[in-house]
Structure 1
Amino acid sequence: MNEAILLALLIFSFGVIIAMVASKKNFAVAILLGSLILGLAITDQVAHVFMETATDASVLSLIAIVLMIKFLATVMQESGQIKNLILTLQKKLSYSGVLIAIPSILGLLPVPGGALMSAPLVHEQGEQSGMKKGEMMFINLWYRHIWFLIFPLSPPLVLIADLSGINLFAIIAMQIPLFALAFFVGYLFVRKFPAPQKKEEGPQDAGNLQGLIPILLTVLLATALSLFISTYTAFMIALPLGIVVALLYAGNVNKDMITKGVSVSLGVAIFGIMFFKNIIFASGVTDILSSHLTNLPLIVTITSLSFIIGFLTAHNLAAIGILYPIFSPFLTTPGLVSLLYISSFMGYLISPIHPCVVLSYEYFRPGFLESYKILAPPAIAMVISAALIYGLW
């Protein structure tokens, strides 16, 4: 297909998705419609890509995992476990500290869509100071993800270290200044919200962090199992146990709790995200973008193409896998390697088809423009800062 038509279909498909989400339409419908629009570029392959996605064990596992996380979060919220946990944390940390700690701690949950687990806790805390939904969404996403700039178990970070031949911890050391900047930017945002004048009294057993047990059991068991089996399989084993423990703590389980915890549209949305991503890869649009943007100055090319590929794929590991072979002859310094990583990471972070963005948006239900007015500027500022710092390194 003509390159111009393919690029036009890509832009139009993203435009349709964004317009539908902005007008509060169901995201699952929006992402499937966007996939079919882009699929017009490869009509002979759409059915094959659909079946490949529908029968992919990793996609089915991801859907199951996200649905179980949703159910676990609902049980904990409806039974008051989340509220008690927040009250406990309030005794140990400042108001801002609690807001930062919740997504940061749970952000190390190594599964796509894990932001759904921290969302109810951020919501419970944020409501106390009259925080807007878009602001809560930003905190949930920002502090969940920025740790992956320096987290040594982050798969994309491990991959780029392997591809570049640069020591993993040397790359981490290189990225600490940008991580510190990201943390500080988030802190400036969080601290503008005043702590509630009067804290609620916590339960008698608040000091023992009992509410963390279902989450910690899930995370620690999955982490241990992932040393021997795949991460997805580990969570397929660990999450049901975490749910059972949460139900035991809940005591009185009613029909409403079960109904709220089951979300068919969420499962369809996750499938749609993976289908759309596979359509993008099958169409070859990433190769077309690469061929055009490589004619720009090196720093501009690395920064812009990495951000765009991260944004389009909403999958940082895939973005690194696509980008590194393109730029490998030019990545002559550790700074340029970090520039590629951070630019693709920030594109991935704010992508409207990134599972964590989708799940946070579905949970908080902010205005679309409201949420992106808050999320996009610091992400773009981080990319520009990385270009200025690492481009001159």
Structure 2
Amino acid sequence: MVWELIVVAVSIVVLLTLVRLRVSVGIALIVEGVLIIVLMNPLLLPNVFLQTLMNERTVSLVLASFSISILVELYSLTRMINGLSEGLLGYVRRPTLIIAIVPAIMGLLPIAGGALMSAPVVASVGSAIGLGTTLMAFLNVWFRHTIFLIYPMSQVLITAAVLTGHSVIELAMYQVPIMVLMMLTGLYVTRRNGKPISKSGSLVFRESSLKDVVTFLSPILGSIVVALIARQVLDTLGYYSDYSVAVGGFFGVALITYLSFKKSEEHVSLIKFFTALRSDRVMNMVLSSFGAMLIYYAMINTGISSSIGVIISGSKFPVVITEILLPSVMSLISGSPIVGVTSSVPLLASLKTFSLGDASLIYLSAFLSYVASPVHLCLVFTVQYFKENLFKVYKYLIPAIVLTFAIAISYYYLVL
């Protein structure tokens, strides 16, 4: 079992080194997945690659990432992102709230890497109030995961509730104070680092109506609505429901193409469409999606996930430390909160009966570690979009997570 720990440590170091050397994150993730398999059992490489390629989770994730990244590129190429930002500024008139609200709303679309949808808005408004790209990258990831923490349609929250024997609403309500804390933390950082409105010469508050805002936002909102409807339809028909996100994404592409002829001087021409297709960002998103799934199946098929779970659960740490450590480690190395929850709860169940506080601690540990994971696609895509260095973003992200977690633990002890 010591070898499994060495393999994980080596693979993470290699990943971070490649990222530090500015190798494409998508390629770095694939290298990490291959390295894990080769170090554990090279003979598994063909089977794991084939499983990753053929699995519906991978196909749906790649299609969803592809469609959404094309939508984001078209927002920029048609300059409709400028219209959206100006409309939001003119209607809301509070840039700080826009930077908080848009990623949070986008967080209602449960897709890996969904922070990419809000990144253009955060970039446009953040630049206007003088925020640097490192800070904008942090805020985009941070605010996206505020509402998502208590979102009752979240697969992670549902799974955590079911496995620990509590209702989804009960577990969600328990997280509300933590969600508020996360929101306040992000707002404080934004206000502290942003320029006052009077000094932001690039900020122009033009008169804007709700209709203008909805029109420019409709490709994104439409994607979410269509994805939610498609999920229900696919579930009813017995098909794999995660394809719904790709359906929503392609609907958004079609809608922005139509609107570009009515609301923008930069129409979606064949040249612009192929420019979007050839974009490095689109290719990186697709490679990152595949790489993340390759790592996931590498962890499962080589037995690393179960081995590390056994090591931690068999340690002599106090139960509460184990409840924090086990889901945190599993989420951090896999980039998936559901892996953190599903791999830790069965092992912890033999130690005690889960109170609501225990369930919340396990859930939040998995969730916050997932937010900081170097293979977390929202973080990966955001860093790529802003062309930033992951380590620079960590300077904001890690202190925010430590602060949130420290207060959360105190909160749990007070409530228990």
Q: TM-score range by the shorter chain?
A: over 0.9
How much identity, in percent, do the aligned residues show?
Answer: 23
CA distance in 2, matches of 1:81, 1:231: 30
Unaligned runs of 5+ in 1: none
What letter is aligned with 1:159?
T
1:9 aligns with 7
1: CA distance, partners of 2:171 / 2:275: 46
- Alignment partner, residue 283 of structure 1: 302
Alignment partner, residue 175 of structure 1: 175
**Structure 2 counterpart of 1:241:** 251
C-alpha distance in structure 1 between counterparts of 2:349 and 2:105, whole Å: 34
Aligned runs of 1:1-393 on 2, under 5 Å?
3-39=1-37, 40-93=39-92, 94-192=94-192, 193-197=194-198, 198=201, 199-200=203-204, 202=206, 207-209=211-213, 210-229=215-234, 230-251=240-261, 252-254=267-269, 255-262=271-278, 263-294=282-313, 295-329=316-350, 330-391=352-413, 393=416
Alignment-mate amino acid for residue 167 of structure 1: S
Cα distance in structure 1, aligned partners of 2:291 and 2:154: 25
- Offset from partner CA, 1:173-217 (integer Å, 9 cap, x none): 221121121111111111111244343254877752210111122
SS at match of 1:86: helix
**Per the alignment, do residues 265 and 284 of structure 1 end up closer, same or farther by CA in structure 2, a change over 3 Å counting?**
same
TM-score, normalised to structure 2's length? 0.89
Superposition deviation, residue 389 in structure 1: 2.7
Residue 336 (structure 1) shift: 0.7
Cα shift at 1:261? 4.3
Does structure 2 conserve the Cα–Cα contact (< 8 Å) formed by 1:303 and 1:387? no
Residues 84 and 206 in structure 1, CA contact (< 8 A), matched pair in contact too = no
Counterpart AA for 1:55:
M
- TM score, norm. by length of structure 1: 0.94
Cα distance in structure 2, aligned partners of 1:317 and 1:163 = 11
Equivalent position amino acid for 1:200 in 2? V
Deviation at 1:77, TM superposition (A): 1.7
Q: Shift of residue 108 of structure 1?
A: 0.8
- CA separation in 1, counterparts of 2:55 and 2:183? 37
1: CA distance, partners of 2:90 / 2:284: 37
Q: 1:288 and 1:235, CA in 2 relative to 1: closer, same or farther beyond 3 A? A: closer
Let me know the Cα RMSD of the aligned residues: 1.9
Q: 8 Å contact 2:104–2:148 — kept in the other structure? A: no
CA distance in 1, matches of 2:75, 2:232: 28
Q: Could you tell me how far apart the structure 1 residues matched to 2:301 and 2:402 are?
A: 28
Task: Give 3-state SS (helix, strand or coil) of 2:118's partner.
Answer: helix
Change (3 A) 1:236 1:266: closer
Between 315-324 and 348-357, report the one with greater CA deviation: 315-324
- In the alignment, the residues of structure 1 paired with residue 108 and residue 277 of structure 2 have an alpha-carbon distance, to the nearest angstrom, of 23
Deviation at 1:391, TM superposition (A): 4.3
User: Gaps spanning 5+ residues in structure 2: where?
Assistant: 235-239, 262-266
Quote the Cα distance in structure 1 between the aligned partners of 2:333 and 2:62.
20
Q: What is the deviation of 1:276?
A: 1.1
Q: How far does residue 384 in structure 1 lie from its aligned partner after superposition?
A: 2.8
CA shift at 1:70, angstroms?
Answer: 0.6
Query: In the aligned structure 2, how far is the partner of 1:99 from the partner of 1:275?
Result: 33
Cα deviation code 1:26-78 (max 9, x no counterpart): 11221122122211212221211111001112201211110110111111122
In the TM superposition, residue 145 of structure 1 has moved relative to its aligned partner by 0.9
Q: Does the Cα contact within 8 Å between 2:299 and 2:334 map onto a contact in 1?
A: yes
Q: Distance in 1 between matches of 2:23 and 2:13?
A: 14
CA contact (8 A) 2:4 2:304 kept: yes
Cα distance in 1, alignment partners of residues 123 and 148 from structure 2: 23
Q: Aligned partners of 2:148, 2:247: CA distance in 1, in Å?
A: 25
* Partner Cα distance (1:121, 1:70) in 2: 14
- Give the drift of 1:390: 2.0
* Distance (whole Å) between structure 1 residues aligned to residue 105 and residue 299 of structure 2: 33
Cα contact 2:327–2:343 (8 A) shared by 1: no
Segment drifting more, 167-176 vs 94-103: 167-176
Give the 3-state SS of the residue equivalent to 2:349 in structure 1: helix
In 1, distance between residues paired with 2:362 and 2:310?
Answer: 17
SS in 1 for 2:146: helix
